[in-house]
Structure 1
């Protein structure tokens, strides 16, 4: 790309940093819209933007155009990924949310592993423009799929499913030949509808992230994401330098990372759901299939973090191990095995922390996920920009040690949520109830 666009490799790499910055800021502008007006319309609009931009990227021939279009590409893809996580929160009860959250975040965790494989094959046998044509075709297929089959799930629009959306918001397979939908909720279910939504603003994500417990969890996910991006951003350069690999070989080395992310669904996802049910039983809360559980009686913070905290320490240890075996240029099996465990632990911990955030803000999943996404992407962009230069100074081995020791002093943040998060949430709910009662009394007067 640098040769064809008459630029330099460092300038081309800046498009990755710009992509990650917009990846954090972009959904910040539209997430509240998704929580109020619907997931379907937001995701379709994002996919259409993504489709058009990828066509432009395949046809452009200048560096300024590349940089501008990459920013728009990031806006479309990041908005779609945030909505995907919100759909899982709409549909899946808390007792089963652990493994389904891992499913909903597979695009973010497995995508960076599968992407280099496909990109390496296309670049090796065709050219770099073919990667954007591939993404355009893929986006087109997904847009058609959304238009035809995917229904609206936002609870502000359809409640718990008892309220039909407007006819224009129906999947095409339901729209044709269907009688005009009723917008009246089922009387027996009307109590489960959310409160009337407020007009969305970009500041909603900032406000929600400033809550004490929420801020602590978002900070932990940000540190975890920096570990993840630091490993992925340095992998190609390390494989090229130490093993002399070409782009296709580098792409194939991402396979263990993808397998590790995917396998966390069957291990960590199952374990976190089991632990939630165990806590519910201890506190006398009965779990019913496909029904939400009352969090007022369950310390969900402890149920989630009992699994997450060991994963966070484990991820720091395996990243340090990965960088050590890479530093000493061991047999290729060493870095690949460690890469599997890095992805397995990091993907599992990230998904469970996301599930905890959604548990605490169940009627605003897109807004809270945008707050999380904004923080981690901005920090991740810094990690990408600084990882390779730092490795050139201190070496890959000490780089992994530094990452591990950044997390260890910050781990008391999660311990604080573990011990005091439930009490803080109870006091906040009590305060809100008193405020609501006071407002009702004033209106009656």
Structure 2
């Protein structure tokens, strides 16, 4: 029933193909083409232009579509898609784990290297900075050369840097290797969303992109618990040996079974990769080759878009007004969530709580569970809302209630699903800050942490899904935009956190930033109303 429902929505989303004229300086005609079941236009690779499909520009010939041989959008079964989610999570998990697993060891590092709190916090800030910057480069490489090689190389760099950190004997080495560690692994979060977009259509994308994004960032919530346990049982070096063993094992497994999914390379997976670095050993198994139809490839499923590496691509996407306005509220919320996780060890380790390092680690469980539920539940919600909204849109168009050339509002269909969570986050994080300041009962701290994490992961799911929808052939580059904004803001607030607490205490700090989140939520109303219009106008500008 589930697969039948998805197919039905895919057909309703992709039943037209047409050609229209525009005034582009490079071409007089914008060609609507079907990439298997999802229609894409040449302009979805041109930054700032409209990503045309039948839902945003109807009126093409049905006969043309019916005359084409219909091929599946992907050859993965529904259960195999979830296996891919598990594989992607096993890679991206180590990126989100790398920062918080380190928090419980900060005091030990201060003593061992004889530095103050501000200097040791630099090792946290540089990790966050490179977590935001590196994906804007590596995401573009993944869109050009494929997802598989960039993921594996990133994991290898992470493992090598973690070995160095475990053996480090100076503060300077720690700072340098933290930069290298982050630069290697952090792009995987953005690339994972691109991979999920490769094998999903819009009707199911929220579920899978949300699951990949949410499960990956569970390391952010559970990392401090793991770090506390390792530090208490051994010492801070055990943290990095754990990362070496865990990430190294996952890297070996993925090198064998992670297949290439980039549609410009393998289409719907039926086209064998040409480059050795895109070929997973598992593809040599007869059963796999048979399922993927290597003997009869669906060449019509190959995305003909020419994607070239451009180090400025992510920044040019981010600077579009509808994109930055859509992402800023979510980024502020993520930065606030990061501060809430970072503040627990210091606040719960003093009176009246006086919790041990291990007990503080256990207090991270509610935020981990809340984040897990937020990513999974929201993914389902935005898929259901998208299907209903799109069905209503088509019904109104057929009934003549709206113009036949009306474009489906992708911004509204995606962003509105996270609006209630955005407002809730501003409220609960304010309560969280004052619970720590006034030393309220620990249950208040844990409940607000749970709800805040749920909201943060919900917003992350909606933002990631929106970007994959808007830039399907540059999905890794596009999702790196959100990664950049949220990590840079997290780094800025983390660097200022100690001084903000000194100036207006922990309650006032969370109230201040929660206020930014609350008023920032109104920004999404602008792209919801004007986003599609702006993109369409740019697509037709000379």
> Is the pair's TM-score, using the shorter chain for normalization, greater than 0.5?
yes
Query: 1:41 — aligned with what?
Result: 149
Alignment of 1:26-425 (within 5 A): 26-106=134-214, 108-166=216-274, 168=276, 169-175=278-284, 186-187=298-299, 189-190=300-301, 193-198=303-308, 200-242=309-351, 243-284=353-394, 297-425=407-535
**1:85 match: secondary structure:** helix
**CA offset digits 1:296-339 (Å, max 9, x no partner):** 85312111122222221111011112122222212211100110
* Cα drift, residue 113 of structure 1: 1.5
* Contact map agreement 2:215 2:375 (CA 8 A) in 1: no
* Contact map agreement 2:214 2:375 (CA 8 A) in 1: no
Range with bigger deviation, 296-305 or 151-160: 296-305
Query: 1:439 — aligned with what?
Result: none
Rounded to whole Å, the distance in 2 between the matches of 1:121 and 1:93 is: 41
Change (3 A) 1:184 1:232: same
* Contact map agreement 1:123 1:131 (CA 8 A) in 2: yes
* Cα drift, residue 265 of structure 1: 3.6
* Contact map agreement 1:260 1:343 (CA 8 A) in 2: yes
**CA offset digits 1:273-314 (Å, max 9, x no partner):** 1100111110228xxxxxxxxx98531211112222222111
* Contact map agreement 1:163 1:183 (CA 8 A) in 2: no
* Contact map agreement 1:122 1:130 (CA 8 A) in 2: yes
Rounded to whole Å, the distance in 1 between the matches of 2:349 and 2:498 is: 13
Q: Which runs of 5+ in 2 are unaligned?
A: 1-108, 396-404
* Cα drift, residue 20 of structure 1: 0.7
* Contact map agreement 1:164 1:183 (CA 8 A) in 2: no
TM-score (norm 2): 0.73
**CA offset digits 1:21-64 (Å, max 9, x no partner):** 11111122221110011000000000010111111111111111
**2:110 match: secondary structure:** coil
* Cα drift, residue 404 of structure 1: 2.2
**2:394 match: secondary structure:** coil
Rounded to whole Å, the distance in 1 between the matches of 2:463 and 2:384 is: 16
**2:260 match: secondary structure:** coil
* Contact map agreement 1:109 1:258 (CA 8 A) in 2: no
**CA offset digits 1:334-357 (Å, max 9, x no partner):** 100110000001110121111111
Rounded to whole Å, the distance in 1 between the matches of 2:178 and 2:337 is: 22
RMSD of Structure 2 on Structure 1 (CA): 2.4
**CA offset digits 1:65-122 (Å, max 9, x no partner):** 1111110011112022222121111122211122222221135531122111111111
Rounded to whole Å, the distance in 1 between the matches of 2:178 and 2:475 is: 26
* Contact map agreement 2:349 2:356 (CA 8 A) in 1: yes
Query: 1:289 — aligned with what?
Result: none
Rounded to whole Å, the distance in 2 between the matches of 1:380 and 1:108 is: 18
Q: Which has the higher helix share?
A: 1
* Cα drift, residue 428 of structure 1: 3.5
- The size of the alignment, in residue pairs, is 421
Rounded to whole Å, the distance in 1 between the matches of 2:267 and 2:152 is: 21
Rounded to whole Å, the distance in 1 between the matches of 2:346 and 2:240 is: 22
Range with bigger deviation, 118-127 or 104-113: 104-113
* Contact map agreement 1:205 1:370 (CA 8 A) in 2: yes
**1:105 match: secondary structure:** helix
Rounded to whole Å, the distance in 2 between the matches of 1:382 and 1:179 is: 49
* Contact map agreement 2:267 2:298 (CA 8 A) in 1: no
**2:439 match: secondary structure:** coil
Q: Which runs of 5+ in 1 are unaligned?
A: 286-294, 436-445
* Contact map agreement 2:336 2:513 (CA 8 A) in 1: yes
Rounded to whole Å, the distance in 2 between the matches of 1:387 and 1:6 is: 21
